[in-house]
């Protein structure tokens, strides 16, 4: 084969770029940051940044959680319901005089248990994950409504104040997101990463290669459950009260964020970083629509159109890259 040295170098650079599945999401994110610098008043002030991250940290966290499930070839649509459940349990406990710390720990344990239940149903009873988590959505969401039929209660002021403040010069929610990412980094260096990607590509082959498929599935649903729990505490800090329905839409938005971030619904492809930027992009779309002072009745419509245009553009762009490499 005759190829010139520079050609080869160039094509290998293109190839490694085309492997960065998160690139479209990052591009969209940057475009919308630039756009908002012009249309959103005080966009680059710390006050705005705090508001942006407090509102969007739950989505980012749940997107991180569901990414792991999607990469492993599963799907989890129950995370919104888990968020609701933890939110109302936390508020109820605090309302009954529990301390912030113990209520938070109970909330996180409940989230983990919900995830473990999903994991057992999918991993050990071999129920298709969409059905399993569809059913548990109703179960977890139902319990949340049972505990708190209407929005109410209030979060401890300490939580709200800290969550909505600057910590070491940065919006506090950023530290929670970074902490969650650090957990992922630890997992990344364990065998679980290889198991996840192998299962996502082909579960049968993974089983044939002695990958502990059931246990890895148990792990991934537990992990996503736990992240939904952390997301729920953030949501509580953001809305300041209990609401049995507030978290529900997060389930699908998080999956959308992952897909925008380059994760494939058929599994085995993509990165967590992409999902984070996918979620931040979705947050920026809402900011954009709000800043454009669009009539609230049309806001959903316009944010939908913006997402569609963005996603189509990103898909075309990344396909072009793929073909070149």
Partner 1 sequence: MKLTCENISKTFGNITALKNASLSVAEGEIRALLGGNGSGKSTIAKIIGGAVSPDTGAVKIRDKVIKTKSPSNTKKHGIVITSQELGLFTNLSVEENLCICQLPVTRGLFVNKKEIKKRAFEILKSLKLEHLLDKEISELAPNQQYMVEFAKALVQQPDILIIDEITSALYREDVEVVREIIHALKAKGCTVIFISHRMSEIYSICDTVTVMKNGEIVGTYKINEKNENELLSLMTGRDIKDSDLESENNSLVYENTKTILNIKDLVLPRFDSKINIEVKKGEIIGIAGLQGHGQSEFLKTVFGLQGGIRLEIDGTEKHITSPIKAVKSGLAFVSGDREKEGVFGERSVSENLTAVNNLVLKKTRVNEMKLLKDYGVVFGSTRQQITTLSGGNQQKVVIGRWTSSMPLVLLADDPTKGIDVQARRDIHKIFRDLADAGSAVMMVSSDDEELVELTKHTHLSRIIVMYEGNIVKTLMGKDITKENIIAYSMPKGGGNK
- Which positions touch partner 1 (CB under 8 A)? 1-2, 189-191, 193-195, 197-198, 200-202, 205-212, 268-269
Spatial separation of the C-alpha atoms in residues 173 and 164, rounded to whole Å? 8
Spatial separation of the C-alpha atoms in residues 242 and 144, rounded to whole Å? 10
94 vs 211 by CB, closer to partner 1: 211
48 vs 214 by CB, closer to partner 1: 214
* Minimum CB distance to partner 1, residue 318 (Å): 16
220 vs 235 by CB, closer to partner 1: 220
73 vs 278 by CB, closer to partner 1: 73
* Minimum CB distance to partner 1, residue 214 (Å): 10
> Nearest CA to 276 among 20, 83, 63?
63
Spatial separation of the C-alpha atoms in residues 59 and 253, rounded to whole Å? 7
* Minimum CB distance to partner 1, residue 262 (Å): 13
* Minimum CB distance to partner 1, residue 79 (Å): 24
* Minimum CB distance to partner 1, residue 211 (Å): 7
Which distant-in-sequence residues (6+ apart) come within 8 Å of 112 by Cβ? 222, 225, 226, 229
Spatial separation of the C-alpha atoms in residues 156 and 197, rounded to whole Å? 41
Q: Please, are residues 254 and 66 in contact by the beta-carbon 8 Å criterion?
A: yes
133 vs 271 by CB, closer to partner 1: 271
Spatial separation of the C-alpha atoms in residues 242 and 26, rounded to whole Å? 33
190 vs 295 by CB, closer to partner 1: 190
171 vs 267 by CB, closer to partner 1: 267
Judged by DSSP in three states, 85 sits in helix
* Minimum CB distance to partner 1, residue 200 (Å): 8
Residue 222's CB: how many other CB atoms inside 10 A? 23
* Minimum CB distance to partner 1, residue 208 (Å): 5
Spatial separation of the C-alpha atoms in residues 71 and 193, rounded to whole Å? 9
Spatial separation of the C-alpha atoms in residues 19 and 318, rounded to whole Å? 10
Residues in the chain: 325
34 vs 210 by CB, closer to partner 1: 210
Q: Please, are residues 111 and 86 in contact by the beta-carbon 8 Å criterion?
A: yes
* Minimum CB distance to partner 1, residue 198 (Å): 5
> Nearest CA to 52 among 321, 298, 307, 287?
287
């Amino acid at each position: 084969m005759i190829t010139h040295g520079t050609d080869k170098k160039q094509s290998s650079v293109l190839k490694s770029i085309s492997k960065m599945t998160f690139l479209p999401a990052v591009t969209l994110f940057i475009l919308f940051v630039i756009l908002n610098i012009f249309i959103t008043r005080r966009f680059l002030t710390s006050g705005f940044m705090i508001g942006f991250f407090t509102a969007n940290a739950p989505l980012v966290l749940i997107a991180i959680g569901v990414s792991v499930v999607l990469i492993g070839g599963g799907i989890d649509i129950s995370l919104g319901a888990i968020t609701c459940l933890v939110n109302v349990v936390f508020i109820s406990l605090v309302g009954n005089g529990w301390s912030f710390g113990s209520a938070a720990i109970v909330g996180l344990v409940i989230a983990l248990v919900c995830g473990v239940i999903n994991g057992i149903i999918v991993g050990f009873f071999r129920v298709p994950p969409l059905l399993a988590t569809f059913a548990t959505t109703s179960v977890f969401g139902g319990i949340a409504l049972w505990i708190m039929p209407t929005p109410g209660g209030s979060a401890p002021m300490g939580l709200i104040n800290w969550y909505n403040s600057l910590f070491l010069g940065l919006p506090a929610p950023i530290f929670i997101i970074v902490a969650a990412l650090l957990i992922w980094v630890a997992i990344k260096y364990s065998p679980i990463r290889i198991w996840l990607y192998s299962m996502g590509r082909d579960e049968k082959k993974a089983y044939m290669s002695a990958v502990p498929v059931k246990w890895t599935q148990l792990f991934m649903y537990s992990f996503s459950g736990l992240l939904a729990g952390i997301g729920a505490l953030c949501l509580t800090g953001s809305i300041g009260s209990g609401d049995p329905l507030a978290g529900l839409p997060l389930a699908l938005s998080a999956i959308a964020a992952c897909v925008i971030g380059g994760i494939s619904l058929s599994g085995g492809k993509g990165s967590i970083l992409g999902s984070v930027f996918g979620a931040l992009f979705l947050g920026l779309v809402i900011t954009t629509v709000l800043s454009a002072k669009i009539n609230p009745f049309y806001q959903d419509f316009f944010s939908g159109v913006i997402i569609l245009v963005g996603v189509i553009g990103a898909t075309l762009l990344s396909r072009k890259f793929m073909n070149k490499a």
